[in-house]
Amino acid sequence: EAQNLALTSAMASPYSDPVFMQLGDLLNARVKMRHGALSHIITARILDGYPTTAGLQKLVDNPQHLDKLSDQIAKEVLPGSVNSAPNPGTNDHEEEKLPSLPRSNSWSDLLLYERA
C-alpha cells in the first residue's frame, strides 16, 4: 500500500520527474533571456499549462511557439513589457517597475510562491 501511495503521488506531481525538471530549467533559461525578472512567473504559468513531460518536451522543441507564448504571458503579467523598451535618447516612457519577487535559488521554489 505504501508503494502504491508513493507511485500515485509521483504521478500526480511532475516536479518529482528529473526529466520534467530539466526541461523546466531549459524553458526558464530561454524565457529569462527574453523577459529577465519576469521569467519565474512566466515559467510557472507555462508549466501549469504543460503539466506532462511529453507536452513540455514538445514546447521546448518548438522555440518559436515558446517565445510567442512567453511574450503573451509577459503582456498579461506586465502590460507594456514586450517590445516597448524606451528609446535611450528620450523621456517618452517612465521606467516600468517590475513586480518584486522573492530571492530564490531555483525556479521551482518560486512556483510555490506564485501559487500561494
How is the chain split among helix, strand and coil, in percent rounded to 5? 65, 0, 35
Q: Is the pLDDT of residue 102 over 70?
A: no
Which residue type is seen at 69? Answer: L
Task: Give the distance between the most distant pair of CA atoms in the chain.
Answer: 67
* Site of grid cell 514546447: 59
pTM assigned to the model: 0.60
Q: Which of 104, 94, 82 is nearest to 36 (CA)?
A: 82
Mind listing the pLDDT tens digit for each residue in 54-79? 999 999 999 999 999 999 999 988 88
pLDDT grade for 3, boundaries at 50, 70 and 90: low
Sign of CA dihedral 6, 11, 13, 19: positive
Yes or no: say if 39 and 32 are a contact pair by the CB < 8 Å rule: yes
Which residue type is seen at 80? Answer: G
pLDDT grade for 93, boundaries at 50, 70 and 90: very low
Q: Is the pLDDT of residue 6 over 80?
A: no
Q: What is the pLDDT of residue 73?
A: 92
Spatial separation of the C-alpha atoms in residues 116 and 107, rounded to whole Å: 14
- The C-alpha cell that represents 82 in the structure block: 514586450
Mean pLDDT of 13-40: 90
